[in-house]
Amino acid sequence: MMKKNLSKQKVIHAASTLFFQKGFHGTSVRDIAEKAKVNVSSVSYYFNGKQGLLEYAVTAYYEEYLEKVEECLKVTENQSAIERLNKLIFTIIQYKQSKLQLTCFIQRELTLDSIFVREMTVTYLAKENYYIRSTFFSALEGKKLPGDQKDYLLLQLKGMLITPYILHNEWKDRVIGEYSREVFVKKYVATIQKWLKFIVGI
């Protein structure tokens, strides 16, 4: 049938926007259905309910995310640790920017304390953390830093990777208007890399 998945896509798109604006619990399936201009029961039909829709969206997001990260690490296998880290940072920021609303929403939702969040943590975030951590520590190799100092620097790095998607409210004027998304990615990544150069050069 021609219109297969047409409603499904409309639901996903509407849900992304609404979850981003009002949060998961702040959005009703009727809101979604209305915005997507489909029937209420479509959500249950396609995703097994509201929770299923959430799981579908988040899972798809992280599957693709980790795919891109792993590909980046594979391609840069033979390069220097710092070069690898630089390209990893670029890959991550670029992906997040390409799915801006979903990134902001998921980032927010992950700060909650629920069964779902814990599941996502062990399934995806553990992997993500492993990739970033090991790549970063490789780049720090040889630097003699006191014990937990590295962990604080890692926290700093991870913070830089999420900051634009937490403080998006302050930056949306800029990112949408004066700057295009690509320009933002380029400039922001450059800012991180400048910090990185300082850190590994200690």
Residue showing tokens 């980790």: 66
Does position 115 interact with DNA (CB under 7 A)? The reply is no
Closest CB to DNA among residues 54, 185: 54
Give me the sign of the Cα torsion angle 7, 16, 182, 199: negative
What character string, x for contact with DNA (CB under 7 A) and - otherwise, covers 40-79? Answer: xxxxxxx--xxx----------------------------
Amino acid at 126: A
Tell me how far apart the alpha carbons of residues 177 and 126 are, in angstroms, rounded to a whole number. 35
Phi, psi (rounded to 5 degrees) for 38: -130, 175
Among the listed ranges 3-11, 76-84, 142-150, 162-170, the one in contact with DNA (CB under 7 A) is 3-11
Closest distance between a copy of itself and the C-beta of residue 190, in Å? 8
10 and 36 in contact (C-beta within 8 Å)?
Answer: yes
Q: What are the φ/ψ torsions at residue 39 (nearest 5 degrees)?
A: -80, 150
Q: Which does 49 bind (CB under 5 to 8 A by kind): a copy of itself, DNA, none?
A: DNA
Q: State phi, psi for 178 to the nearest 5 degrees.
A: -50, -45
Say how far residue 43 (Cα) sits from the centre of its chain: 24
Smallest distance from a copy of itself to CB 174, Å: 8
Binding residues for DNA, rule: CB under 7 A, are 1-7, 27-31, 38-46, 49-51
Binding residues for a copy of itself, rule: CB under 8 A, are 20-23, 25-26, 104, 107-108, 110-114, 117, 121, 125, 129, 148-149, 151-153, 155-156, 158-160, 162-164, 166-171, 174, 187-188, 191-192, 195, 198
